[in-house]
Chains A and B, each alone.
Chain A
């Protein structure tokens, strides 16, 4: 017997919770000196279903603008917090 498919509301809630978690994982956490490198190949992140991720990506792009570094390379110095 096939399990019942979750209804639309349940699915939407699941996506919201997942999106919120992803947003925290990508944008928070302790920053140790060392190198954090995220290269976004074609910057086609608009395809991401979880729109909350975009806020984090926007942060990355803003950092990239200030770094002016070719790839989106986020080089965190030891004194930087985030």
Chain B
């Protein structure tokens, strides 16, 4: 048995944890108040096995269950600090001891995200902007080696151009929402450029309206997702 930590919240007010909220393994989520940390509240559950033996799809499902609980915390109107997925303690006492030890840092984190949510802006290349991709040469084709290298070089050049264009668009997005957002992080992957923004709850409509005014051009589509818990801003 172990205590699984979902998220941490500022000292409890009236909003209560739903009694029927269940998380990973169907375990009921409990609220753990930490008097040694000025009443800091942790949402936890008792799980049977703290060792997550998972493959891809199962990993994704567990992560979504983790997020459902964190989302429920966000829905109370308070903004939680999400714990890293699969954070477990031997028991409640061990969890409380560690939270108390880290109180100053956790308090600063909660202050940073208070009354805010995370929004995601995804810059997705449109089909037309993806490199057409010359076909690979056949093995017995004359000059197959040279043509293969040319194909690779062309693909690399196209991808680099797309990356530069994505970063230019990201810079326009950043400039547009500057003054509205409290923080920003970026993650570049082969599929897209993802920007996370920390946005005050009261500023959400202005944020959405501002983004709607950013024209992505023919190479990209802009997807806006959220609100979600501030995973990207849980640490400095």
Contact = CB atoms under 8 A, between A and B. Distances in A.
Interface of A: 13, 16-17, 19-26, 28-42, 44-53, 55, 57, 71, 74, 76, 78, 81-82
B83 to A, nearest CB: 5
A25 B228 CA distance: 10
A47 B56 contact: yes
If over half of A's interface residues share one DSSP class (helix, strand or loop), that class is named, otherwise mixed; here it is mixed
Interface string B77-116: 0000111111111000011001101100010010000000
Contact of B67 (A25, A31, A44): A25
Contacts of B57: 47-49
Interface residues of B, number: 53
Contact of A32 (B98, B223, B228): B98
A38 B86 contact: yes
Contact of B232 (A19, A24, A42, A57): A24
A21 B67 contact: yes
B192 interface: yes
A53 B57 CA distance: 10
Given A17-B223, A21-B228, A34-B89, A48 B60 contact: yes
Given A25-B66, A29-B231, A41-B54, A76 B187 contact: no
B83 A30 contact: yes
Given A30-B235, A31-B87, A37-B88, A13 B223 contact: yes
B63 to A, nearest CB: 5
Shortest Cβ-Cβ A-B pairs, 8 listed: A48-B56, A28-B231, A29-B84, A30-B234, A24-B231, A29-B82, A45-B56, A39-B53
A79 B67 CA distance: 25
Interface string B50-65: 1111111101100110
A78 B54 CA distance: 25
B117 interface: no
Given A32-B83, A36-B86, A55-B189, A25 B63 contact: yes
A28 B122 contact: no
Given A33-B98, A41-B55, 19 more contacts: A16-B223, A21-B228, A22-B63, A25-B63, A29-B83, A30-B8, A30-B84, A30-B106, A32-B84, A32-B87, A35-B89, A36-B87, A36-B88, A37-B52, A37-B86, A42-B55, A45-B55, A53-B59, A82-B84
Contact of A25 (B8, B122, B231): B231
A16 B228 CA distance: 15
A78 B84 contact: no
